[in-house]
Amino acid sequence: MANVQIEELRKKLDEINDNLLDLINERAEIVQQIGRVKKTQGMNRFDPVRERKMLDMISEKNEGPFETSTLQHIFKEIFKASLELQEDDHRKALLV
């Protein structure tokens, strides 16, 4: 019985993982677009004020069960990876 319950919960978890995967990649595409616009303007890709604002929004909207600090840590990893992606794009552009 417990195994059936766990299997069902894991199925839900797999669906959420799929959605997360799609959403994180969709986010990355938008970050790439922002990077391209910024590049044409000679703007700096890293914007600490904007990053702070996104972290504050997590704090405002979080209803748990995760602690805000935990979520902010996860999002910081996503931000870092996104910045690296923009830098890769930039390097590739320089090599063209």
Question: What is the contact surface with a copy of itself in residues (CB under 8 A)?
Answer: 2, 5-6, 9-10, 12-14, 16-21, 23-34, 37-38, 40-41, 43, 50, 54, 57-58, 61-66, 70-71, 73-75, 77-78, 81, 84-85
Q: Would residue 42 be called left, alpha or beta, if left means φ above 0 and alpha means ψ between -120 and 50 degrees?
A: left
Kindly tell me which of 18 and 94 has the beta carbon lying closer to a copy of itself: 18
CB of residue 45 vs a copy of itself: minimum separation in angstroms? 12
| CA–CA dist 28, 22 (Å, integer) | 10
